[in-house]
Amino acid sequence: MTKDFLVQQIREKKSYLCVGLDTDLTLIPKHLQHLPNAIVTFNKAIIDATKDYCVSYKINTAFYESLGIKGWEAMEETLHYIPNTHFKIADAKRGDIGNTSLRYAKTFFETLPFDAVTVAPYMGEDSIRPFLEYENKFTIVLGLTSNKGANDFELLKTGDTFLYEKVLSTVATWGTPNNLMFVAGATQASEFKNIRSIIPDYFMLIPGVGFQGGSLSEVSKNAMNKEVGILVNASRAIIYAGSNDLYAEDAKLIAMEYQTEMSSYLV
């Protein structure tokens, strides 16, 4: 998917919502848990219920990899069920020496046809370069994350700058807004204006709204650029909105609430 097409979808739907399919077999409705293909059944219902209100889906691969081959099969079936109009993210947080990253890139851009994959930048450019070589695919680099551990390294000073600032400014020179995005956690809203000053033209994937306490209003006010430039992820708040037979309908209502609020911030 190209950046222009993603922006078009955002404008048409008046939404920059990304629904996280971090599906935990123990948390889905109990009446589904005994089914042989429970995760896929659940995911398909969530996708059907929310696709009109979001522009993206993010699959956290850990929830599928932990189940072995059945989990990988469920991830693949889920991925192929997502409409091609929606931006498909593998939240895999990969990053290794070049020849290993080459295989990771092949995994998530060819074997599994995702549009984007999250990567960790710690090992430097050669660990990210193989992902950037793919046309119309996006590498989403961890910038300033929403977890408490962000204080351990990302918010350490290196000279006069924070480490995350160095990551953003350096990695931005390795690609373009057409193949690079950055993760910025919604709980770090106080830093968004500064982040925008460093990467004014790049999309941000913003987790942390919902259960982690991030404010959609603050994110939207401080992180948007002229092309909107943000994808706000909500996972548990949407997919686990209900626990009975009406779980998909409940998810739809929450996704609709997000989309309605987002539409009010778009001009």
Of the CA atoms within 13 Å of residue 102, those in its CB half-sphere come to 4
Decide if 93 is catalytic.
Answer: yes
| Catalytic, out of 3, 14, 44, 93 | 93
d(CA 114, CA 104) in angstroms, rounded, equals 12
Residues taking part in catalysis: 93
